[in-house]
């Protein structure tokens, strides 16, 4: 009588004591201690696979066929996965998530088969991307997301590379960049065959303008800034002769508006590459103060963080001072004095930037006065009205 002894990992997860007893004794075959008849035909096979994935605490059964029974099974790392034979079935159990090991099944004739065992995670496969995602076109609109859970490694693919490109950055991160307006899908698959799908719409974010209402003195320019949408931006529609509008050199989003004649309300319309439009209402007046500030009146949304560059004219050559009546709501920065030609004429107007707080809310539309004082003591003002865009946000 011949005996095989097998060392089984002492894991409370698996109640395999009954199996061990059946494995310890192998009956003798025909005379002379031969292995006996083999009722199976064909080569040794373990479920017809070479790799299997299990979750921690999960067991899987794989049929063992061929070779010469009985069979025995050992695991290379019992701390990762356990293995035992239940008759002609291999029982594999996962223990350590995220790890891999080998299970070796050997028949009575000494022939063996190796099965790679990967232990996944009990956390389901997920990604930080929403199920429905909208992005813009271009590198500035690209987004990066994580994938986790399930069983590594992950495979991440995009259904339409001409609409958006999907790049797997590393084992747990992927990015997507819009190429052209349209729809596509991102598919995420783990090693266990679980799949996620993200529906992607490539379009353009809302087209925005820094101010939708400007009042300008004649001859002093003001600047508006476009954002969102899809570049390039352009001037849409006809502009009356009383107003000049131009894209500032070296910028792709700043437009200068200059009033040549006094006018009533005029809509200056801008568009993006997709045809979306946005406008600002411009009024040109003949106000003459000691210091002329442009724009003299502007409206901006609360908590928007929006900035407006103001220009001013003064004959004083010293450094000006600019004050805010509510600096916690509208702050002042980047103050520059005018530049003068040799004959004393103004070469470049002075300027400063007014910025609405990104955190302070208002209970009602709130005017904030910005006061310019030059070195001669002359005064000019501009009013920034902070609009109550969300009444519920300010208790």
Q: What span, in angstroms and rounded, lies between the C-alpha atoms of 108 and 85?
A: 13
Per-residue confidence (pLDDT) for residue 157, from 0 to 100: 95
pTM of this structure:
0.42
394 upstream amide cis, omega within 30 of 0: no
Contact in structure between 95 and 120 (CB atoms under 8 Å): no
Task: Tell whether 192 and 218 lie within a shared domain.
Answer: no
Task: Tell whether 211 and 259 lie within a shared domain.
Answer: yes
Region of poorest pLDDT, from 7-11, 199-203, 222-226: 7-11
Task: Tell whether 356 and 382 lie within a shared domain.
Answer: yes
3-class secondary-structure state, position 265: strand
Closest CA to 177 of 207, 147, 212, 202: 202
Per-residue confidence (pLDDT) for residue 289, from 0 to 100: 56
Residue 344: domain span: 287-394
Contact in structure between 278 and 366 (CB atoms under 8 Å): no
Residue-wise pLDDT for 328-353, tens only, equals: 899 999 999 999 888 878 888 999 99
Q: How many CB atoms lie within 10 A of CB 2?
A: 11
Residues 2-11, mean pLDDT to the nearest whole number: 43
Q: Is residue 159 part of a domain?
A: yes
Which CATH number does the domain housing residue 165 bear?
2.60.40.10
Which CATH number does the domain housing residue 224 bear?
2.60.40.1510
Q: Of 203, 235, 253, which residue sits at a domain end?
A: 203
Residue-wise pLDDT for 360-380, tens only, equals: 889 899 999 999 988 888 888
Question: Does 32 or 72 have the greater pLDDT score?
Answer: 72
> How many C-alpha atoms does 343 have within 13 Å on its Cβ side?
2
Q: Of 73, 92, 119, which residue sits at a domain end?
A: 119
pLDDT at 28 over 70: no
Residues 198-216, mean pLDDT to the nearest whole number: 83
Q: Is residue 24 part of a domain?
A: no
Which CATH number does the domain housing residue 111 bear?
2.60.40.3440
Task: Tell whether 230 and 242 lie within a shared domain.
Answer: yes
The count of structural domains within the chain is 4
Closest CA to 182 of 211, 207, 153, 159: 159
Q: Of 203, 223, 241, which residue sits at a domain end?
A: 203
Angle, alpha carbons 181-185-187 (nearest 5°): 150
Task: Tell whether 309 and 343 lie within a shared domain.
Answer: yes
């Amino acid at each position: 009588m011949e005996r095989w002894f097998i060392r089984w990992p002492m894991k409370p997860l698996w109640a395999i004591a009954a199996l061990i007893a059946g494995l310890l004794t192998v009956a003798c075959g025909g005379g002379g201690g031969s292995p006996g008849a083999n009722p199976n035909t064909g080569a040794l096979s373990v479920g017809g696979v070479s790799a299997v994935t299990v979750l921690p605490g999960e067991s899987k059964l794989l049929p063992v066929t061929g070779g010469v029974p009985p069979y025995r099974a050992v695991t290379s790392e019992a701390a990762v996965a356990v293995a035992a034979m239940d008759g002609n079935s291999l029982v594999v159990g996962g223990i350590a998530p995220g790890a891999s090991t080998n299970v070796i099944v050997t028949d009575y004739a000494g022939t063996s088969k190796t099965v790679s065992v990967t232990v996944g995670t009990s956390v389901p496969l997920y990604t930080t991307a929403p199920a429905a995602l909208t992005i813009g076109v271009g590198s500035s609109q690209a987004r990066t997301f994580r994938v986790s859970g399930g069983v590594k490694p992950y495979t991440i693919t995009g259904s339409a590379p001409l609409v958006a490109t999907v790049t797997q950055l590393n084992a747990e991160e992927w990015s997507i960049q819009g190429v052209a307006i349209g729809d596509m899908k991102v598919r995420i698959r783990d090693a266990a065959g679980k799949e996620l799908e993200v529906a992607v719409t490539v379009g353009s974010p809302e087209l925005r303008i820094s101010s939708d209402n400007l009042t300008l003195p004649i001859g002093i320019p003001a600047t508006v800034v476009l954002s969102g949408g899809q570049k390039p931006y352009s001037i849409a529609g006809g502009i009356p002769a009383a107003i000049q509008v131009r894209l500032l050199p070296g910028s792709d989003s700043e437009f200068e508006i200059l009033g040549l004649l006094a006018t009533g309300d005029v809509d200056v319309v801008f568009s993006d590459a997709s045809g979306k439009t946005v406008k600002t209402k411009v009024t040109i007046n003949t106000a003459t103060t000691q210091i002329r500030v442009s724009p003299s009146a502007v409206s901006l949304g609360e908590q928007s963080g929006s900035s407006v560059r103001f220009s001013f004219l003064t004959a004083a050559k010293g450094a000006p001072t600019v004050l805010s009546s509510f600096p916690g709501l509208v702050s002042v920065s980047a103050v520059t004095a005018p530049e003068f030609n040799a004959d004393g004429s103004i070469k470049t107007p002075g300027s400063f930037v007014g910025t609405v707080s990104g955190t302070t809310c208002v209970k009602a539309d709130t005017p904030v006065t910005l006061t310019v004082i030059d070195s001669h003591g002359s005064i000019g003002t501009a009013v920034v009205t902070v609009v109550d865009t969300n009444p519920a946000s300010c208790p």
